[in-house]
Amino acid sequence: MGYREELISSADTRIALSVYPKEQNAPCIIFVPGTMTHPLFYDDFLTKLSEQGFNIVGIHLLSHGKSPRERKTYTIEDMIQNIKDTVSFCADNFNRQIILMGSSQGGMMSVAAAAEDHRIRAVFAHNAVLPMLKESISITRFPSFFKYFQKIFIPLLKFSAWFFPALPVPLGAYLQIDRITKSPEIQSQFLNDPIGLTSYPLSFLASMFSAPLGGVTGGDIKCPVVVIASTGDKLFSLDYMKRVYDLIKAPEKDMMVFEENHHLIFNECVDQVINPVAEKITACTASSDLE
């Protein structure tokens, strides 16, 4: 069985899936990409993860990557629905040993989806944002004093999105790409990707900054959660990720910390992280809860 792509219906449109099949009964890892990207941006990592004995299904989120551009506006709730529909795809086409893995923005969506969909058996979140934390402003390019105006900023953003939902907001308006990666090659890959995005509609950003993630901190997650971080991440500081980790409420949780000076460890540190991550997933799938 080789790599293939599928189209499924989700959130009143269609989304593409990148499928790296291994064996019918092997655990199925659903991968949720980071900001404006798609699974093929992480192809080296996903290919090697599949070689470790897992079925991999990467989500081209609504209007991302190879998914049809049938909708111009969308919200984080739509993307969480994408995850739920991909869980259904995996349950129907592989098995119910379904593990969710997300990177960066995808990590946030993964823990949010796990709070809503209890078919997910474990979550591996490489970074995650909890918008209710004032410290979350540190991830953006906005001045740190903005955290004191959070109660004004978010309603204003939602109000603006109500009037101009399709207004394109470029990545550089709220994130610094050199904090995502300093590699000229990866920056070029991201900025010149023919199926990548370089902006989001205001409707999505408003929904992301105001995402109600009370279930993540309130005990709605019913499966183990593993948070993955790196010591030298310039976007998600280790202190911030420890704060997020402490607030996530799950039956079991653990934190994997890599001694790496990169945010995109699934791109720039594949050989360093692949075996420890695969071993941790194997340990989770070997538990009685996943049998």
Q: How many angstroms separate the Cα of 110 from the Cα of each of 68, 147, 156?
A: 22, 25, 27
Segment 97-128, tens digit of pLDDT:
999 999 999 999 999 999 999 999 999 999 99
Q: What are the boundaries of each domain within the chain?
A: 4-131+212-290
Mean model confidence pLDDT for the chain: 94
Region of 13 please: left (phi>0), alpha (psi -120 to 50) or beta.
beta
Two structure tokens written together for 264 = 């995109």
Which residues are registered as beta bridge partners of 199? 170
Residue with tokens 């995005």: 197
Of 90, 125, 133, whose CA–CA distance to 108 is shortest?
A: 125
pLDDT at 145 over 80: no
DSSP state of 194: T
Over residues 248-266, the pLDDT tens digits come to 999 999 999 999 999 999 9
The residue type of 51 is: E
Give dist(CA 169, CA 173) in Å, integer: 7
Confidence of residue 144 (pLDDT cuts 50, 70, 90): confident
% of the chain surpassing 70 pLDDT: 98
Q: How confident is the model at residue 289 (pLDDT cuts 50, 70, 90)?
A: low
How far apart, in whole angstroms, are the C-alpha atoms of residue 257 and residue 138?
Answer: 20
Task: Give the domain 4-131+212-290 fold.
Answer: Rossmann fold (3.40.50)
User: For residue range 146-163, what is the model confidence (pLDDT) as tens digits?
Assistant: 777 777 888 999 999 999
Q: What is the pLDDT of residue 290?
A: 54
Residues 6 or more apart whose CB falls under 8 angstroms from that of 152 comprise none
Q: pTM for this one?
A: 0.96
Higher pLDDT, 189 or 151: 189
What tens digit of pLDDT does each residue of 203-249 get? 999 999 998 899 999 999 999 999 999 999 999 999 999 999 999 99
Max CA pair span of the chain: 53
How many C-beta neighbours within 10 Å does residue 149 have? 13
pLDDT for position 288: 46
Give the integer Cα–Cα distance in Å for 144 and 224: 33
β-bridge pairing 98-103 and 4-10: unpaired
Taking only the tens place, the pLDDT of each residue in 34-54 is: 999 999 999 999 999 999 999
